[in-house]
Amino acid sequence: MAPAPSRNDDGRVRAANVRTALALASIAAVFFGGVIAAKFMGGWTTGMGVVGFAVLLFLGFAIGRNLWRGRR
């Protein structure tokens, strides 16, 4: 059973909320930009490229952040 949050957790949870929201908003931005870029630059390969690049970027960011926190 998870412990009840304490007052000290307030800032931590707020920061987590903002992080979650930003990650989700960036997914929306990738899909919005991706669909236009794919058509503008031509062909489905651009679309795959945009999505693939975005997935790698997210992965790199998530892994990097985890490693950085582990060092601290």
Q: For other proteins, which is the closer residue by CB, 28 or 67?
A: 28
CB of 64 to other proteins, least distance (A): 21
32 binds other proteins (CB under 8 A): yes
Torsion of CA 67, 68, 71, 72, to 10 degrees: -140
59 is a site residue for other proteins (CB under 8 A): no
Does residue 27 belong to the site contacting other proteins (CB under 8 A)?
yes
Name the CA radius of gyration of the chain, rounded: 17
Decide if 51 contacts 34 (C-beta within 8 A). yes
- Residue 5 as a binder of other proteins (CB under 8 A): the answer is yes
